[in-house]
Structure 1
Amino acid sequence: MMAGTASPVDQDVLIVGAGISGIGMAVHLQMNCPDRSFALAERRANLGGTWDLFRYPGIRSDSDMHTLGFVFEPWKHEKSIADGPSILEYLNRIVDERGIRDKIRFNAKVVGADWDSAAARWTVTMEDEKGAASTTTARWLYLGSGYYDYDEPFDAQFAGREDFRGQIVHPQFWPQDLDYAGKKVVVIGSGATAVTIVPSMTEKGDGKGAAHVTMLQRTPTWYAIRPAKDAFANFLRKVLPSELAYKITRFKNVKMQDIVFNKARTKPEKVRKFLTKQLQKNLGDKYDPEAFTPPYNPWEQRLCLVPDADFFEAMKADKASVVTDHIERFDATGIQLKSGKHLDADIIVTATGLKLAVAGKIPVRVDGETIQWNEHFYYKACMFSNVPNFSVVFGYLNASWTLRADIVAEYVCRVLNHMKAAGADIATPVLEDPNSLTEENIFDFSSGYIQRSLHILPKNADALPWRLNQHYVKDRVDMRTGEIADGVLTFTKAGAVATRAAAAAELEAAE
């Protein structure tokens, strides 16, 4: 096909999602590509993504806000382990101060995306809250739609649910008016969500807390205890300009995350002993090895953060407890366990995990052919083999989500600027022979939500650039300084077939 002229578009970049990833990309475009037009399509009525959707008691970050915050916007609150409302306030302030709100189209659920090589543009189909369809066009499609299914959580399919006479609640769809004052609550699960909900539902002196909250776990989790307030960060803010204080704290916290993760992988026994000593110190005579000794090493699943040891304080006050067992079935008054024990409950909270979704479950088609994501390789942790002008954000498993969102946004801006300088309309990571790569499962985490979804996830090779790497410090250098025209990412004009041969011809013609 001969190269042609790119068709006009409604905006240069369409960002799907107005959560952390989408808002971050909008700001990076303003800073690094001020000549590019952009818009955001947000399926919900409010911005914030995860932080607007989840409304369960105590909703908070499980990463410190000096790394979950953006590289360009200092986190100034006293607490570094922030609650949901504080994070939403941070995001709303960024959107308003930088004039982004009027670029967000709310109640616009993306239900299809079609790439046309001849026109060098995406046509994106959206539906509003009433199901009315509309379309918009863009040169580049940037998905900040998260990593899980917004419509349905993971369903553990417990037997006897219909027999339970109380209320069953999932954290993803928490009822606004849930009254749990004086009631017996069982929270099923042992991850970050369960560990947040348990202390938040216990009595706090206002008469509205539960009588008792039991965390029912099948498998123990590794916990890390740290103060909700970062004394180092708060001291620096008193003596240094906020931007510099934030930069230093962010650097310190990134290095600490990296050190702890690498130590867990190279010397797991030392980390196990350290975490166990922390638990014993904080729980005292409430410490039960069976409940707090996982059958896996730290960071084989995400380390669960417990700010100010609040979960363990609730246990010491006899307002919360942990039971390690398997569920036989729900019955009228609670949960029958396989051990023969019975847990009485008025309310059961199924904090059993998320269901992963690739590309926001959006059907993506390239020149009429539907993309099957499990047949494509990641490129540079954000693009995909043989898919043009398209990028996504999938955050780190072993560090803060925003660390990836920032470097991906910076990288895509570099690609856009290179395209402008080269006079190219299309950028495609070309992989002519997938068999030339050696596949590797970089998701070497035993977490249920990862293992359940491996069959739908894109492929990873054993070496860059064809992988979603899990090493932020190295990734940051590569994404910021690596060659854009690396011989793999191929730049062509509208209508051209993206192959290395075509790229050579384009360069020859340009010369």
Structure 2
Amino acid sequence: MTRHVDVLIVGAGLSGIGVASHLVREGAGRSFLILERRAAIGGTWDLFRYPGIRSDSDMYTFGYGFRPWNGTKVLADGPNIRSYISDTAREHGITEHIRFGRKVVAARWSSTEARWTVEAVDEATGAVEAVTANFLAGATGYYDYDRGFRPHFPGEERFTGRFVHPQHWPEELDVAGRRVVVIGSGATAITLVPALAARGARVTMLQRSPTYITALPADDPVAVALKKARVPDRIAYRAGRARNIALQRASYRLSRRSPALAKKLLLAAVRAQVGKDLDMRHFTPSYDPWDQRLCVVPNGDLFRVLRTGEAEIVTDRIETFTPTGIRLASGAELAADIVVTATGLTVQMLGGAALEVDGEPVTVRDRVVYKGAMLDGVPNFVMVLGYTNASWTLKADLAAEYFCRVLGHMDEHGYRTVVPVAREGDRSPHSIMGAALTSGYISRGDAVMPRQGTRGPWKVINDYFRDRAFLRTGPVDDGVLEFSRVQAVRRAKAPVS
């Protein structure tokens, strides 16, 4: 028997639990169901289990706006984030609405029925189940949970050691006394290096090019002071959240408007951390600050292990693997027992599910995004994606709030369907992230991600203050969304150019 709900949410991670929480908090009595492929709540934070895993955004802004993060850690570790998401689901009565172990493979919209039919595979039995829904919310993030990005390295077949990708970290892996080379320079690599060194590994961080890295205190001094003063958690959280949002925006704006000054400040801070003996070329990128996401380390832990010799950093290119390690373009050789390929993500939309509107396949790349939350020509659909230049949850929260506003507007006016309709000139050739950042996974994702708009609600600029006004208080019926009280809506059209 096919089950029907008002809202079907795909994904029980940070975004999916956020959407469900907003639906509950709205109090509209809408029925909802979450389909989650994994066996537990958490999404990214349930999948990634590599040593030292933590957020790369401060928890005042990475936490939900409606539920205070009560710890004092600036960057929380994976287990605490998983607990936070699970506790949020439990407190809002969401857990019993999750169907675990279901991989969504197809979502089909019918205009004649004004509903979605979603097919999911029970991964334990292989049985295909169907759920129908009036609205569909995609909360799967934008990467492939099955495959991390893993380039082929010359000669890797000859290597007699072990390759490990952080996305699928083996629980039994013992690194004590082993020679470990971590390939990469992003957030995962800089987290792994001090964590592996603490486990007794002899670690080398091998990077092709450096990343901007900044150190933050492990514990937020303001949060610590407020706790000592016994300021109520909710008030302390709101104050800290407002402060950190403002600081994030100020830092980003400085980097974009005065990149030379931002670069000077960032590198001066690194020099103060690493001391005079480490070569600054390992920490001096060829690009401007925030052309790629800024990496953060608590208490400068990465700088400390490099400074003390507990780990080393090498900036070079791989010429070939040998049976016992890696030969570099410079001619130097790195001996290795284990090679960790912290080489990034494989981008994928909607968890790889096929999307159709009235029998016509929807190629997400060909669609332009409306208000960073909906797709041109796709009815009764919201897509939750976070920020690239700030905490993911800031945008995910706003998108969920906006979704609830749209639902309320439709209830008030008796509408059954809503679809954003782009017009000629609204679509740019850039992906929603490709014009802003140049990170490898973003460049690779250009073939998958939806398009950036050229103006108005189609233009994604990743600005929390602008989006807050746009999504919280801007008119819902803005002349771009088309609403209908009858079942039939316009068929999926060819993408605009």
TM-score category of the 2 structures, normalised to the smaller one? over 0.9
CA shift at 1:286, angstroms? 3.4
Q: Tell me the SS of whatever aligns to 2:452.
A: coil
Q: In structure 1, which of residues 40, 44, 58 is the aligned counterpart of residue 38 of structure 2?
A: 44
CA shift at 1:394, angstroms? 1.5
In the aligned structure 2, how far is the partner of 1:462 from the partner of 1:114? 28
Q: Which residue of 1 aligns with 2:476?
A: 484
Q: Which residue of 1 aligns with 2:53?
A: 59
C-alpha contact (below 8 Å) 2:33/2:98 kept by paired residues: yes
C-alpha contact (below 8 Å) 1:9/1:139 kept by paired residues: no
In the aligned structure 2, how far is the partner of 1:128 from the partner of 1:160? 39
In the aligned structure 2, how far is the partner of 1:472 from the partner of 1:487? 23
In the aligned structure 2, how far is the partner of 1:117 from the partner of 1:155? 41
How do 1:289-368 and structure 2 match up within 5 A?
289-368=280-359
Q: Tell me the SS of whatever aligns to 2:143.
A: coil
In the aligned structure 1, how far is the partner of 2:426 from the partner of 2:340? 47
Q: Which residue of 2 aligns with 1:406?
A: 397
Q: What letter is aligned with 1:401?
A: W
Overall identity of the aligned pairs, in %: 48
CA shift at 1:78, angstroms? 2.1
In the aligned structure 1, how far is the partner of 2:80 from the partner of 2:212? 26
Q: Which residue of 1 aligns with 2:158?
A: 163
In the aligned structure 1, how far is the partner of 2:196 from the partner of 2:40? 26
Pair 1:495 & 2:487 matched: yes
Gaps of 5+ in 1: 1-7, 500-511
Pair 1:261 & 2:261 matched: no
Q: Which residue of 2 aligns with 1:180?
A: 175
Residue deviations 1:409-453 (CA, integer Å, cap 9, x gap) = 00000000111111111010022x444555555532111111112
Q: Which residue of 2 aligns with 1:236?
A: 226
Pair 1:89 & 2:83 matched: yes
Q: Which residue of 1 aligns with 2:495?
A: none
CA shift at 1:467, angstroms? 2.8
Q: What letter is aligned with 2:22?
A: H
CA shift at 1:159, angstroms? 1.8
Deviates more, 1:25-34 or 1:99-108: 25-34
Q: Which residue of 2 aligns with 1:466?
A: 458
Q: Which residue of 2 aligns with 1:224?
A: 214
Deviates more, 1:462-471 or 1:320-329: 462-471
TM-score by length of 1: 0.93
In the aligned structure 1, how far is the partner of 2:428 from the partner of 2:168? 41
Q: In structure 2, which of residues 9, 25, 50 is the aligned counterpart of residue 31 of structure 1?
A: 25
Deviates more, 1:135-144 or 1:94-103: 94-103
Q: Which protein has the bigger strand share?
A: 2
Residue deviations 1:147-176 (CA, integer Å, cap 9, x gap) = 111111112111222211111000000000
Q: Tell me the SS of whatever aligns to 2:240.
A: helix
Structure 1's 358 and 255: CA in aligned 2 closer, same or farther, altered over 3 A?
Answer: same
In the aligned structure 1, how far is the partner of 2:486 from the partner of 2:296? 49
Q: Supply the RMSD in Å over aligned alpha carbons.
A: 1.4
How do 1:53-132 and structure 2 match up within 5 A?
53-129=47-123, 130-132=125-127
Q: Which residue of 2 aligns with 1:18?
A: 12
Q: Tell me the SS of whatever aligns to 1:285.
A: coil
C-alpha contact (below 8 Å) 1:329/1:335 kept by paired residues: yes
C-alpha contact (below 8 Å) 1:263/1:271 kept by paired residues: yes
Pair 1:247 & 2:242 matched: no
Q: Tell me the SS of whatever aligns to 2:189.
A: helix
In the aligned structure 2, how far is the partner of 1:64 from the partner of 1:464? 30
CA shift at 1:495, angstroms? 2.7
Q: Which residue of 1 aligns with 2:494?
A: none
Gaps of 5+ in 2: 492-497
In the aligned structure 2, how far is the partner of 1:356 from the partner of 1:392? 15
Residue deviations 1:317-357 (CA, integer Å, cap 9, x gap) = 21111100001111110111111111000100000010111
In the aligned structure 2, how far is the partner of 1:150 from the partner of 1:351? 15
CA shift at 1:390, angstroms? 0.6
TM-score by length of 2: 0.95
CA shift at 1:222, angstroms? 0.4
Residue deviations 1:182-222 (CA, integer Å, cap 9, x gap) = 0110000000000000000013xxxx421x10000000110
C-alpha contact (below 8 Å) 1:459/1:467 kept by paired residues: no
Q: Which residue of 2 aligns with 1:198?
A: 193
In the aligned structure 1, how far is the partner of 2:314 from the partner of 2:344? 18
Deviates more, 1:64-73 or 1:442-451: 442-451
In the aligned structure 2, how far is the partner of 1:67 from the partner of 1:364? 32
Q: What letter is aligned with 1:181?
A: A
CA shift at 1:259, angstroms? 0.1
Q: What letter is aligned with 2:418?
A: A
Structure 1's 383 and 126: CA in aligned 2 closer, same or farther, altered over 3 A?
Answer: same
Q: Tell me the SS of whatever aligns to 1:55.
A: coil
Q: What letter is aligned with 1:229?
A: D
Residue deviations 1:264-320 (CA, integer Å, cap 9, x gap) = 001111111111111111111333122111001111100000110000111122111
Structure 1's 435 and 78: CA in aligned 2 closer, same or farther, altered over 3 A?
Answer: closer
Q: What letter is aligned with 2:455?
A: A
